[in-house]
Amino acid sequence: MRIIKNQLFCLKSIIYIVNPKYFFKNLKGEKCMSKILVTGGAGFIGSHTCVELLNAGYDIVIVDNLYNSNEKSLDRVKELTGKDFSFYQYDIRDKENMRKVFENHKIDACIHFAGLKAVGESVEKPLEYYDNNIAGTLVLVEVMRNHGCKNIIFSSSATVYGDPVEIPITENCPKGGCTNPYGWTKSMLEQVLMDVQKSDNEWNVVILRYFNPVGAHASGRIGENPNGIPNNLMPYITQVAVGKRAELGVFGNDYPTHDGTGVRDYIHVVDLANGHVAALKAIQSNCGTSIYNMGTGNGYSVLDMVNAFVKVNGVEVPYSIKPRRAGDIATCYCNPAKAKAELGWEAKFGIEEMVRDSWNWQRENPEGYR
């Protein structure tokens, strides 16, 4: 058995060496893609992605200023994976500190989550949003370039499509006018990264446009931990269910949808996390600039989500109909076929797992990480 294994290994090695495809890929660094910088890794999507990266065998280094997160999420990532990693409580706008990170570690690629994300707050504090998201990314990308790290996966958003001209939304759908500074930061940063890649084709830029991430790790140990009153639907539902808020306000029931409430493409955060692992593989084969929708392709209304939550979890979620929320659109869901065809990635979890795991996290951690 051992001899056969050895012979197979030799055969594989010979194929590897003589096959120009593998040889040149190796020269381009495919075999070396092992250390990943995760900015914003203590946050909701970041912490779940760190778990999947560690489980997939990557080494990770996390930079997060903990502005919207808690270091406990990182303890729990360690607990869930049994693996250790370096964490720096730095702001990505701090060029000196970011340099230190790249000097301390030979980073192969960066998954860039760090950013402010509250739509309403961005309208009140545009300068803070442009400074944090845009200036922060400019610093990060400059430091990456100066250290020869030219691989980045960027957290973008379905918000760049504005009020989409086609449903389901493909990546070819034109970007629409954004209705808030947060959305503009995503749209502008997509442009910045595409221009950087155009100027130097050693760069690989993967732009992932997330639809509506919900759910939590099935263990209930990590999840979404919003500060104050939640802006988003799912954390609001879970806080009503756990008794922290009296009732959910449903923003409008007169949209042109099957029940009049807004329709979105909710995606389980663990599926989304695995989308990043798949995107790293694209980077390893030198993809240039690539843009992918990260959604399930299914549209669910607000009431679909509430009804599924009540049915699956057996808890009550009182709600009342409120006026429409300014800036909301009726329907937003994607065609995720490109990510399936090119990354071999597709969402596996459905609405039941999304509402089950969101509730499991909230029930086990009524005060989040506090």
Tokens of 39: 């900015």
* Residue with the two structure tokens 């990635």: 345
Residue 307 as a binder of ligand UFG (CB under 6 A): the answer is no
Residue 210 as a binder of ligand NAD (CB under 6 A): the answer is yes
Q: Considering 130, 182, 236, 300, which one is annotated as catalytic? A: 182
Residue 249 as a binder of ligand UFG (CB under 6 A): the answer is yes
137 or 159: CB nearest ligand UFG = 159
CB of residue 244 to ligand NAD, shortest distance in Å: 19
- Determine the residue with CB nearest ligand NAD: 43
Angle at 119 between CA 118 and CA 125, to 5 degrees: 80
Residue 269 as a binder of ligand UFG (CB under 6 A): the answer is no
Question: CB of 69 within 8 A of CB of 227?
Answer: no
Instruction: Please pick, from the candidates 71, 94, 328, 353, the single residue that binds ligand UFG as defined by CB under 6 A.
Output: 328
**How many helices, marked H, and strands, marked E, lie in the chain?**
14, 14
163 or 202: CB nearest ligand NAD = 163
DSSP state of 301: E
Exposure letters 123-138 (e unless 16+ CB within 10 A, then b): eebeeebbebbbebbb
Residue 92 as a binder of ligand NAD (CB under 6 A): the answer is yes
Q: Which helix (DSSP H) or strand (DSSP E) does residue 196 occupy?
A: helix 181-199
Tokens of 275: 């989308």
Stretch that binds ligand NAD, among 41-49, 259-267, 311-319, 344-352 (CB under 6 A): 41-49
Distance CA 172, CA 161 (A): 10
CB of residue 340 to ligand NAD, shortest distance in Å: 20
Instruction: Please pick, from the candidates 233, 277, 282, 339, the single residue that binds ligand UFG as defined by CB under 6 A.
Output: 233
CB of residue 16 to ligand NAD, shortest distance in Å: 37
φ/ψ region of 126 (left if φ > 0, alpha if ψ in -120 to 50, else beta) reads alpha
Residue 182 known to be catalytic: yes
Q: Which of ligand UFG, ligand NAD, none binds 274 (CB below 5-8 Å, type-dependent)? A: none
CA distances in angstroms from 108 to 37, 44, 78, 149, 151, listed in the order given = 8, 23, 21, 6, 7
Q: Which of ligand NAD, ligand UFG, none binds 219 (CB below 5-8 Å, type-dependent)? A: none
Residue 6 burial by Cβ neighbours in a 10 Å radius (0-12, 13-18, 19+): exposed
CB of residue 132 to ligand NAD, shortest distance in Å: 5
The type of residue at 85 is F
Instruction: Please pick, from the candidates 26, 97, 170, 231, the single residue that binds ligand UFG as defined by CB under 6 A.
Output: 231
Residues in the chain: 370
Q: Which of ligand UFG, ligand NAD, none binds 319 (CB below 5-8 Å, type-dependent)? A: none
Residue 295 as a binder of ligand NAD (CB under 6 A): the answer is no
State phi, psi for 358 to the nearest 5 degrees: -60, -45
CB of residue 168 to ligand NAD, shortest distance in Å: 17
**Nearest in space to 168 (alpha carbons), one of 301, 302, 332, 349:** 332
CB of residue 134 to ligand NAD, shortest distance in Å: 11
- Catalog residues that contact ligand UFG under the rule CB under 6 A: 117, 119, 157-159, 211-212, 231-233, 236, 248-251, 262, 264, 302, 325, 328, 332
Q: Which residues are catalytic?
A: 182
Tell me which residues touch ligand NAD (CB under 6 A): 39-40, 42-46, 63-69, 91-93, 113-117, 132, 136, 155, 157, 210, 213
